[in-house]
Amino acid sequence: MDKPKPPERMADFFDARSDGYDEHMRSSVSDFDTFYQSIARIVSPTDQPVKILDIGCGTGLELDAIFKRAPQARITAIDLSRGMLRELRTRFSERLDQITLVTGSYLHIPLGEAVYEYAVSVMTLHHLLPRTKHRLYRRVKEALKPGGTFIHADWVVSVSEECRYRLHYREMTRATQSCEDGCYHIDMPLAAASEKELLLEAGFSSVEEAWRSEGTVVFAARP
Ligand SMILES: C[S@@+](CC[C@H](N)C(=O)[O-])C[C@H]1O[C@@H](n2cnc3c(N)ncnc32)[C@H](O)[C@@H]1O
C-alpha cells in the first residue's frame, strides 16, 4: 500500500486553495444554501450593531447570510490564511468598516471576556482533537456576553467513522514532529453526539441541534 502523503500546514493548505474555494464549497457541501441560511437563522434579525466573533472565517461565506439578518453587525473575523482573508476583504469591500480582520490562530489569539452576542465557527474545527476543542469551547463561552449564543456548524460522521479518523489522525501525527494539534490540515471529524457532549462538558448549559443534513450539523450552544 502507498505511504500516506505528509500533511500540509494549515495556512499553506488554505492559501493554496483560496482562489476557487467558494466554488469548491458550493459543489461539495450538500444543501449548501440551506446550510449557510440555517446558520444565519440563529441570529435574531436586528438593526443594532451586535458583535459577532467568527473563528476560521475563511472567505466569509457565512457572513453573507448573517449580514442579511444583522446588517449593522460588527464582526471580528479570525483566520490563519492570508489568502482566505484576502478573498474576504474583496467580498466585503463595502463593509470593511464593520469587520476587524485578525490573522492568526484562534487557538492562541485572546478572544476576550463577555464581548460578543454571537460566536460562529463554520467548517473549521474538524481538524482538532477533542481535548483541544474542549479548551477552545471554554474560551469561546467566556467570550460571549450573558445570553449570547455559540453557533457551531461542521462536518460530522458516524461513530464508527469517528474511530477510524482518530486512528488515521494518530498515524499522520506520528510522522510529523514538534507541531501542536491544529497546525496541520488533518481531518478529525466527530459524530454529532460526541460534538454535543463536548460542548456540554465545556460548560454550555444548552446545546440545540438547529439543523442537520447529510454530513453536516448546526448547533446553537448557550452558556
Ligand atoms: C474549510 S474553511 C471554512 C471557512 C468558512 N468558515 C466557511 O464556512 O467557508 C476553514 C478555515 O479555517 C481556518 N483555520 C483552520 N485552523 C485555524 C486556526 N487554528 N486559527 C484560525 N483559522 C484557522 C482555515 O485557514 C480556513 O480558512
Distance 61 CA to ligand 1 centre (A): 11
Distance CA 16, CA 102 (A): 19
Per-residue pLDDT of the chain (223 residues; tens, 9 = 90+): 456 677 888 999 999 999 999 999 999 998 999 999 999 999 999 999 999 999 999 999 999 999 999 999 999 999 999 999 999 999 999 999 999 999 999 999 999 999 999 999 999 999 999 999 999 999 999 999 999 999 999 999 999 999 999 888 888 877 666 567 788 888 999 999 999 999 999 999 999 999 999 899 999 999 9
Return the ligand 1 atom nearest residue 106 CA.
20
Q: Give residue limits of the domains in the chain.
A: 10-222
Separation of 128 CA from ligand 1 center, angstroms?
12
Of 35, 75, 80, 124, best ligand 1 pocket probe by most atoms within 8 Å of the beta carbon: 124
Ligand 1 site, CB within 6 A: 10, 14, 25, 56-58, 61-62, 78-81, 84, 105-107, 122-124, 182
Indicate the pairing of strand 144-155 with strand 99-103: unpaired
- Where in 41-157 does DSSP place strands (E)? 51-55, 74-79, 99-103, 116-122, 144-155
- So what CATH class is 10-222? alpha beta
What separation in Å is there between the alpha carbon of 202 and the centre of ligand 1?
21
Q: Which three cell numbers stand for residue 166?
A: 482518530
Pairing of strands 144-155, 206-213: unpaired
Nearest residue CA, atom 9 of ligand 1?
61
Grid cell in block for residue 200:
456540554
Query: How many angstroms does the Cα of residue 79 sit away from the middle of ligand 1?
Result: 6
CB distance 82 to 11 below 8 Å: yes
pTM for the full predicted model? 0.95
Instruction: Summarize pLDDT for 67-108 with one digit per residue, the tens.
Output: 999 999 999 999 999 999 999 999 999 999 999 999 999 999
Q: Which atom of ligand 1 is nearest to the CA of 57?
A: 6
CA distance 35 to 211: 8
Task: Report CA(45)–ligand 1 centroid distance (Å).
Answer: 26
Ligand 1 mean position to 87 CA, how many Å?
A: 13
User: What is the distance between the alpha carbons of residues 17 and 29, in angstroms, rounded to a whole number?
Assistant: 16
Question: How far apart are alpha carbons 146 and 3 in whole angstroms?
Answer: 49
User: Are the beta carbons of 40 and 210 closer than 8 angstroms?
Assistant: no
Beta bridge partners of 221: 150, 207
